[in-house]
Amino acid sequence: MDTLVRGTPASARPVPSHAPRERGGLRSLRLWRTAGIATLWLTSLFVVALWVDGGGIQSTVQGGAPMLTTLGRITGLVAANLLLYQVLLMARVPLFEKAFGHDTLTRGHRLTGFWSFWLMLAHIVLITFGYAGLAAIGFLPQLWELIVDYPGMLLAAAGTVLIIGVVALSIRRARRRMRYESWHLLHLYAYLGVGLALPHQLWTGADFLASPAATWYWWTLWAVAAGCALVYRVIVPLVRSARHSLRVAEVVPDGSSGVTVRLTGRNMHRLRVQAGQFFVWRFMDGPGWSRGHPFSISARPSADGLSLTARVVGDGTSRLGRLRPGTTVLVEGPYGHLVGARRQGTKLLMLGAGAGVAPLVSLLQEQPYAPGAATLVTRDSHPEAALLSEAVAALVRERGVRHVPLDGPRTRVSSPWLPRQHEQWQGTQLIAHLAPDLAQYDIYLCGPVPWMDAVRADLDRLGVAPSRIHSEAFAI
């Protein structure tokens, strides 16, 4: 294994430490996380309090139709609150972005989406059975009466159909058969479904109208959610993009199937981007410009501009190679928690697969560490596919980074994140070999989700504290 490690620590020059700034960054992250968690818990408890105040516990104890009705109420309330969270978690609200980071938010968005869907179906079934029991009629006649006679229910029914369709398409097996661009466009219909379902809640929902406090709560929070989506997904990106006037400066091939795009702009020092973060990019080069794609920056941010590097794997990335210098760029961001501010140790173990190497290279260019105290493990299907080879070589030569390329077909014998020629190793053995004093390391992961999951499983077996493992994933 030592023969595979590329690095010249003795020739590297140490970089001054910035430990006080990093510790301050950790404190800031903890404060934001506390505020985010407190917000979610307080709003959730308020919803439960509305149900209790409306006699929910007494009706549950009573049994029969009243019990079904009140259970329908609480499932509807929680489903509505989860729909609210689903919008807010992906509205790029600074509170939640700084509290949880993109990786956690996307998982939370998916989880709340499925839970709100099943609770919404439970709400429909329970309420209908409860009302049918009180009216002594069948389930289907009661369902028809609710849809036709109650204000806003026709819209709610249409919204439910849209949400069911989006949920069906969001199942991973269905998503794998669709182009990302097509799935993303259809996914947006969930917002239309939420909008169609909202009127019946605010017009006829007893728990929404039971008291001035309840009415104020729901109207205010839905208005805040809509406002946040408009402000942070549309207005702020447009203003930021206009202020910095980002343009494509150069497009160069990178590896056998990759491309690096370099960008320039005005007042780039005010963009406040950190190495390891990403933007959602929209290139104004013709049809399809409205579809944003998340790409990490692949070089240390500077006043001269930014760079992104991607592997060409689909329509969104293939367009990058055809960009012309001068093309206007719209950006959302910067986002992400894969930053140096989360460091706790003095050493770095960076593990990246494919395009996941890009943010790790920018971090290694930015962060302080002693010669030989940073190890970069890269994973590609073949050596020619490696991205940012020149930048990695410069880090080895100038900063004393140890580079371990793990190229070739994936093993089916040992740890699945290793290549076949290293299948005699267990992943835990390799990590322990590269970082024998593992307690001093922060581990940064970026790559395909299954690959990162396999690496994380080996780190867990080694007893690495979760707070020392930093990762970013772009899948929902």
The answer to the question of residue 18 being in a domain is no
The answer to the question of residue 347 being in a domain is yes
pLDDT, position 148:
79
Tell whether 54 and 203 lie within a shared domain.
yes
Tell whether 158 and 286 lie within a shared domain.
no
* Helix (H), strand (E) at residue 131: helix 94-135
Sign of the dihedral through C-alpha 114, 115, 119, 122: positive
Phi, psi of 428 (to 5 degrees): -65, -35
The answer to the question of residue 19 being in a domain is no
- From 240, 261, 295, the end of a domain falls on 240
Tell whether 96 and 206 lie within a shared domain.
yes
- Per-residue pLDDT 10s for the chain (476 aa) are 544 555 644 443 444 334 334 445 567 777 877 888 888 888 888 888 888 877 888 888 888 888 998 898 888 888 888 888 888 887 888 888 877 877 778 788 788 888 888 888 898 899 899 989 988 899 998 888 888 777 777 777 777 777 777 777 666 665 666 666 566 666 666 667 777 777 676 666 666 666 777 778 888 888 888 898 899 889 999 999 999 999 999 999 998 889 999 999 998 888 889 999 999 999 998 877 778 888 999 999 888 889 999 988 766 678 888 899 999 999 998 988 899 988 988 999 999 998 999 999 999 999 999 999 999 999 998 888 899 999 999 999 999 999 999 988 887 777 888 888 877 888 899 999 999 999 999 999 999 888 999 999 999 999 999 889 998 876 55
Domain total for the chain? 3
pLDDT, position 13:
42
Q: What is the DSSP string of 161-190?
A: HHHHHHHHHHSHHHHTTS-HHHHHHHHTHH
Whether the CB-CB separation of 251 and 260 falls below 8 Å is answered with yes
Tell whether 34 and 148 lie within a shared domain.
yes
Whether the CB-CB separation of 300 and 366 falls below 8 Å is answered with yes
The answer to the question of residue 95 being in a domain is yes
Specify the pTM: 0.79
Q: How many Å apart are CA 411 and CA 423, to the nearest integer?
A: 6
Q: What is the DSSP string of 202-255?
A: HHH-HHHHSSHHHHHHHHHHHHHHHHHHHIIIIIHHHHHHHHHT-EEEEEEEET
pLDDT, position 260:
95
Q: How many Å apart are CA 186 and CA 403, to the nearest integer?
A: 42
Tell whether 419 and 303 lie within a shared domain.
no
CATH number of domain containing 387:
3.40.50.80
pLDDT, position 22:
46
Tell whether 135 and 219 lie within a shared domain.
yes
Tell whether 76 and 203 lie within a shared domain.
yes
Tell whether 266 and 400 lie within a shared domain.
no
DSSP 313: -
Q: How many Å apart are CA 378 and CA 359, to the nearest integer?
A: 12
- From 183, 213, 240, the end of a domain falls on 240
CATH number of domain containing 328:
2.40.30.10
One-letter amino acid of 332: E
The answer to the question of residue 15 being in a domain is no
- From 240, 263, 296, the end of a domain falls on 240
pLDDT, position 474:
65
Q: How far apart are the first and last CA of the chain?
A: 36
Q: 3-state DSSP call for residue 408?
A: coil
Q: 3-state DSSP call for residue 285?
A: coil
Phi-psi category of 372—alpha, beta or left, where left has phi over 0 and alpha has psi -120 to 50? left
The answer to the question of residue 352 being in a domain is yes
- In 384-440, at which residue ranges do the beta strands (DSSP E only) sit? 402-407
Tell whether 383 and 465 lie within a shared domain.
yes
Tell whether 299 and 418 lie within a shared domain.
no
pLDDT, position 441:
95
Tell whether 266 and 319 lie within a shared domain.
yes
The answer to the question of residue 79 being in a domain is yes
Q: How many Å apart are CA 91 and CA 339, to the nearest integer?
A: 21
Domain that holds residue 402: 2-10+339-472
The answer to the question of residue 20 being in a domain is no
Tell whether 119 and 231 lie within a shared domain.
yes
